[in-house]
């Protein structure tokens, strides 16, 4: 019996997986998917659990290092460069032995490296299987962000001291070397690596009056992570320009670039934007993890009637589905979640994006380049000659793109796109303002999704709380506006008096914020026959018109249900709705 078969057998027995589920797992594996990925996708096991099962199969002890405090002396048994290269980490040491966590037991070079280091100190090496997540959490303990930056700054200060006494001309000749020098390069690398490890979506490097501030946007909120001396600001900006192939001598005009780095074994793209301020330049780097796939709709937070409407409408072979919301509300992620469902052997899917945020196997993805005339409108014309079944247009920005998208939906294509409107129903007047004929829009538009992102309560420090009575009364008032059948579709045994409320206490996993990760709160409009008639007649569609003929939740009501389910907090819903 192979290791894979043993693993499946062990998981099925331990998790009491039923026959139907087992059959689905076997089908997915037979279709060429890796067993481990299938078990995780089907949510049969958690990632850490899976590593524990693998350890049993190969006869190795398992260890979770996520919460383990490791001393500097123990960590430094294995140099950080060796640890990062082979994904091994020492987490215990005494006079006789060392305990070493290893991600990949088949990596013989890793075990050889450990045995060599242990032998030098007359120690015995014991190996433990650990997960990648566990490894990277432990790896952070080698040095904190502040310590790494301080070390680099100290080194740079020492170099500057050595340079004292040199002529101005000599210093000018060395300016390029300073930009590429190890301390500045290390500072930039540390800033980027800690942003990626902290699951930030953006890095802001901004000059203040007497210092440079580095902020990370994590779960939609900007947080100051580091304050640096002002005198190295221009060197940091120049280093980033070099990495993104931008002009070093251009400081008067905005510049945009892109770079790709491999961090913690993953390919990460960075979209770089540099803009001149008064006296200095500000850098913003958008982090695009191209190695990750888009999560499923349920994972994103769609549930109940909203999920049912989307699932029903994406079965159609023509028409248009729109996702609306402000910048950073997760529109692209929702579109790619839908594309993942539609991505099958017999379907030709083509996309136009700016930028390409997710790479999907089997999907034809194009990056638009407006500077050379390849925009959404011209790209859409070309895509129609590529025999597509499904077309995804990153954004409908102008009248021409809107008209082409609608005509594509009319001529046998299923079109997915995004719009900037505050709510779902606002997409209809917005498209009519873009000169789309109402009778064409009524024939094409199937579904409109409006969404926002809210922070999830951290699962590691989640605790039950007693809500203040006035807040509880406010939630009770909101619930009265939701039809009972809609709530019971999501919470079958709903009883408000028995509902428990939660918040995050704050822990190392969530940087003591109490929140970790985000989910969407959304409203989904099914453009049915009644609404189509109203569009043709140019009637002003209101909320009551939607409530009368379909099972509909507003964004706020969807958020309230997620509070009742213990996914997020009422304060978070109020924060997002006020924005």
Q: What is the pLDDT of residue 145?
A: 56
pLDDT in tens, 210-236: 899 999 998 888 988 888 888 889 999
pLDDT in tens, 326-353: 988 999 899 999 999 999 889 999 999 8
- CA separation, residue 429 to residues 31, 433, 441, 533 (Å): 45, 6, 10, 14
Q: Which tens digits make up the pLDDT trace of 284-304? A: 999 987 666 678 899 999 998
CATH of 144-289, picked from 3.30.2020.10, 3.20.20.70, 3.30.450.90, 3.90.220.20, is: 3.30.450.90
Structural domain spans, the chain: 3-139, 144-289, 297-578
User: How high is the pLDDT of residue 158?
Assistant: 64
Which architecture characterizes domain 3-139 according to CATH?
A: 2-Layer Sandwich (3.30)
Long-range contacts of 398-407 (CB under 8 A, 24+ apart): 398/434, 399/434, 399/435, 401/375, 401/376, 401/377, 402/431, 402/434, 402/435, 402/436, 403/434, 403/435, 403/436, 404/377, 404/380, 405/320, 405/380, 406/320, 406/431, 406/436, 406/440, 406/441, 406/444, 407/440
Section 260-274 average pLDDT? 86
Residue 167 predicted with pLDDT over 50: no
Residue whose tokens read 């409109």: 448
- pLDDT exceeds 50 at position 552: yes
Quick one: average pLDDT of 405-428? 93
What is the pLDDT averaged over residues 17-26? 86
Q: Considering the domain 297-578 in this protein, what is its CATH number?
A: 3.40.50.300
pLDDT at 168: 45
Number of Cβ atoms within 10 Å of the Cβ of 80:
13
The per-residue pLDDT for range 97-146, each reduced to its tens digit, is 999 999 987 777 788 888 888 888 888 999 999 998 888 888 887 766 56
Which residues face 276 on adjacent strands? 281
Interacting residues of 107 by C-beta distance below 8 A, sequence separation 6+: 86, 87
Tokens of 82: 């060796």
**DSSP-derived pairing of the beta strands 266-276 and 255-263:** antiparallel
For residues 271-275, give the mean pLDDT.
94
Token match 């990062």: residue? 84
What pLDDT was estimated at residue 418?
95
297-578 shares the fold of 144-289: no
- Given a cut of 60, whether residue 23 has pLDDT beyond it is yes
Q: Can you list the pairs that 143-146 forms with residues at least 24 positions away whose Cβ atoms lie under 8 Å?
A: 143/80, 145/190, 145/194, 145/225, 145/226, 146/226
């Amino acid at each position: 019996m192979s290791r894979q078969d043993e693993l499946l057998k062990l998981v099925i027995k331990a998790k009491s997986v039923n026959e139907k589920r087992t059959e689905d797992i076997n089908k997915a594996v037979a279709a060429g998917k890796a067993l481990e990925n299938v078990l995780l996708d089907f949510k049969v096991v958690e990632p850490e659990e899976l590593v524990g099962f693998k350890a049993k199969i190969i006869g190795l002890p398992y260890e979770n290092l996520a919460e383990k405090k490791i001393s500097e002396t123990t960590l430094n048994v294995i140099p950080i460069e060796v640890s990062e290269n082979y994904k091994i980490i020492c987490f215990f040491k005494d006079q006789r032995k060392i305990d070493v966590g290893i991600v990949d037991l088949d990596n013989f070079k890793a075990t050889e490296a450990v045995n060599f280091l242990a032998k030098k100190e007359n120690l015995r090496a014991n190996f433990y299987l650990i997960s990648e997540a566990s490894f990277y959490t432990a790896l952070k303990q080698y040095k904190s962000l502040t310590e790494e930056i301080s070390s680099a700054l100290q080194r740079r200060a020492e170099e500057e001291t050595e340079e004292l006494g040199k002529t101005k001309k000599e210093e000018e000749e060395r300016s390029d070397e300073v930009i590429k020098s190890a301390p500045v390069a290390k500072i930039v690398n540390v800033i980027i690596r800690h942003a990626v490890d902290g699951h930030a979506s953006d890095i802001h490097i901004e000059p203040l009056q007497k210092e440079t501030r580095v902020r990370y946007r994590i779960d939609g909120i900007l947080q100051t992570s580091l304050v640096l001396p002002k005198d190295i600001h221009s060197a940091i900006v120049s280093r980033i320009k070099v990495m993104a192939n931008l002009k070093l001598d251009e400081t008067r005009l905005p510049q945009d670039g892109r770079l790709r780095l491999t961090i913690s074994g993953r390919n990460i793209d960075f979209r770089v934007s540099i803009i001149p301020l008064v006296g200095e330049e500000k850098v913003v780097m958008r982090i695009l993890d191209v190695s990750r796939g888009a999560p499923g709709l349920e994972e994103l937070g769609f549930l109940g009637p909203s999920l049912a409407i989307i699932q029903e409408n994406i079965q159609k072979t023509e028409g248009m589905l729109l996702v609306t919301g402000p910048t950073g509300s997760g529109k692209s992620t929702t579109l790619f979640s839908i594309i993942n469902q539609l991505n099958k052997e017999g379907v030709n899917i083509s996309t136009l994006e700016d930028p390409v945020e997710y790479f999907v196997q089997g999907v034809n993805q194009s990056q638009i380049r407006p500077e050379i005339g390849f925009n959404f409108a011209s790209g859409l014309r070309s895509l129609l000659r590529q025999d597509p079944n499904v077309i995804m247009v990153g954004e409908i920005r102008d009248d021409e793109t809107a008209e082409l998208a609608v005509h594509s939906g009319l001529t046998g294509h299923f079109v997915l796109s995004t719009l900037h409107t505050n709510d779902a129903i606002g997409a209809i007047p917005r498209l009519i303002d873009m000169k789309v004929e109402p009778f064409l829009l009524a024939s094409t538009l199937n579904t409109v999704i409006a969404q926002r992102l809210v922070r999830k309560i951290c699962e590691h420090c989640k605790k039950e709380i007693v809500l203040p009575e006035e807040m509880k009364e406010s939630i009770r008032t909101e619930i009265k506006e939701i039809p009972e059948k809609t709530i019971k579709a999501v919470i079958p045994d709903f009883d408000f008096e028995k509902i428990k409320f939660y918040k995050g206490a704050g822990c190392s996993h969530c940087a003591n914020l109490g929140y970790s990760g985000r989910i969407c709160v959304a409203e989904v409009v099914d453009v049915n026959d009644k609404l189509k008639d109203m569009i043709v007649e140019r009637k002003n569609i209101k909320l009551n018109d939607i409530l009368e003929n379909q099972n509909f939740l507003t964004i706020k009501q969807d958020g309230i249900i997620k509070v009742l389910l213990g996914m997020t907090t009422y304060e978070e819903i109020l924060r997002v709705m006020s924005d």
